[in-house]
Amino acid sequence: MHTYYNMDQLTLDLSTSFSPKENHVAVFINELVESLQINEPYIFGRPREYDLGAMMKLVLFAYTRETFTSRKIERLAEENLYARWLTQERVPSYRTIARFCVSNDVQELTNKGLTHLTEYLRARNLIDDALFIDGTKILADANKYSFVWKKNTIRFDQMNCEKLLLLMTELKEAYAVKEIPEGTFLTLDMVDELLTRMELKLEEIEKEIQSTKRISPNPAKKQRRKLKSQVRKLTEKREKLIEHQDQFSIYGARNSYSKTDHDATFMRVKENHMMNGQLKPAYNLQIATCNQFVLGYDIFQNPTDTRTLQPLLEKMNVTNQSHRYIVADAGYGSESNYRYLEDELPQHTALIPYGTFLKEKSKKWKTDEQKIMNWTYSEQEDYYIDPKGVRFNFHVYRKRTDKDGFIRDFKEYQAEKIDLNQEVIPAALTPKGYIRKITINLAWEYHKAKQNELLSTPETGKVYSRRKIDVETVFGFMKACLGFTRFTVRGLDNVRKQSGLLITAINMMKLAKISN
């Protein structure tokens, strides 16, 4: 039978009667947000207030639909049936959505939701006792040519200070001292004091010019022109000094930042379409997963992963969790991380290879005469003999402090320069004639041996082999499937909030998938 279709017929305004499918991702998002028991209204809505839970549900559902900008989320809330069911027919404006995504409530809600989800997964045995950690670089919402480099700032600041010292030396009469000592550390107060003296000097010259108006040519006017030119140059140098001080305060411990997002650091990312190794403004996203569920995350500004392990584990409070294994790749294999895991987390087993773990298994490495591990060692008398027959005796203990303040202990061995015939051994000297020396880090060798044993054991080796299919899969899904390769907000705090929304949305999609 033909159905009559007429868009102009009389209709009644009725709310949408809709029930979502069972195990749909919108259902899990609704259950998660309802479990948070949000009672506070959202006060940023215009011209009316919006429920905080409804806003949270809408944004999480939009992220599962590859929608990350506020204008597209507004369109989704208006056109998508599941989104209208979650918000109960309410469509917030894109400004309201944008304010919500960077509000202080988002961070608290995502952290609380992650805790509830972890308890839910553990109660249903969906996660086990292994924690897999890895990181990826995600582009910042900043122009790729807005870089400011610390080395350049240091160089320009030195040049500016040298010119400033030269100019201040030329103005020694106005500065009221005979000369500026070389190597003087310039401060802003010194420059301001000099400018004040020069302004007072200009006032005196102005009075002199007023009292000698009829003199022509007037030498006071010539002096005034010269002093004004010097004041202008000094003011320009002063502004540069302030600019460089501001840049140093933005850098912190970093080597670069972006002009359009000061918290972004220039890093080498994999999304390099020109294949020229160009650095781009980005953030380092670190996550901890188990069975492809993200149980913890954090955002860092440093491009390397080495110094991110300890802050991430402390934020997750791993000490009070039941995870037995902490698994990561060789990028986290440092002495500081090994020592932290052994001292602070003794109940956990770290499965983290060091940088040369695979290379040391090769035949080339084992036959390399330059590697100290291939030399002969006498444990009783504590000396090494290299393949050339040169003996290295213990000489002294050394300490080295890394950039981040970590102290490493070394044993230094020195080659025997004289043989039994009191003749110089040529092989014991460097090409420049110095005595050859080697250093051994006993703590590092201990941690390397420990990891070698753990990763060679079938039980723990099997746990480590899961790393690539656990945490790497989450990054692949995030970038390739959801298409999230660039943040849409600026600033470290706002990026951390958006990361929390993204992580929660990924967990909801994973939960919905395994429930079907």
Tell me the pLDDT tens digit for each residue of 481-491: 999 999 999 99
Contact 308, 284 (CB under 8 A): yes
What is the rounded CA–CA span in Å between residue 280 and residue 2? 60
Residue 170 confidence (pLDDT): 74
Q: In 212-319, where does DSSP find H-type helix?
A: 219-251, 309-316
The residues, any chain, with a CB within 8 Å of residue 31's CB and separated by 6 or more, are none
Residue 419 confidence (pLDDT): 85
Which residue's structure tokens are 């040049």?
159
Tell me the pLDDT tens digit for each residue of 58-68: 999 999 999 99
Residue 52 confidence (pLDDT): 87
Tell me the pLDDT tens digit for each residue of 255-266: 999 999 999 999
Residue 230 confidence (pLDDT): 84
- Please, what is the Cα angle at 288 between 283 and 293, to 5 degrees? 115
Contact 85, 26 (CB under 8 A): yes
Is residue 507 classed exposed, middle or buried when 0-12, 13-18 and 19+ CB atoms within 10 A define those classes? buried
Contact 476, 469 (CB under 8 A): no
Contact 296, 322 (CB under 8 A): no
Residue 20 confidence (pLDDT): 82
Most confident among 87-101, 183-197, 478-492 (mean pLDDT): 478-492
The residues, any chain, with a CB within 8 Å of residue 208's CB and separated by 6 or more, are 220
What is the rounded CA–CA span in Å between residue 52 and residue 109? 10
- 177 pLDDT higher than 50: no
Is residue 254 classed exposed, middle or buried when 0-12, 13-18 and 19+ CB atoms within 10 A define those classes? middle
Q: In 295-441, where does DSSP find H-type helix?
A: 309-316, 335-344, 363-366
Residue 23 confidence (pLDDT): 86
The mean pLDDT value for 280-300 works out to 95
Q: Who wins on pLDDT, 230 or 334?
A: 334
Which residue's structure tokens are 């402090």?
401
Q: How confident is the model at residue 178 (pLDDT cuts 50, 70, 90)?
A: very low
Residue 165 confidence (pLDDT): 83
Sort strands 407-415 and 391-401 into parallel, antiparallel or unpaired. antiparallel
Residue 242 confidence (pLDDT): 92
- 397 pLDDT higher than 70: yes
Sort strands 437-440 and 391-401 into parallel, antiparallel or unpaired. unpaired
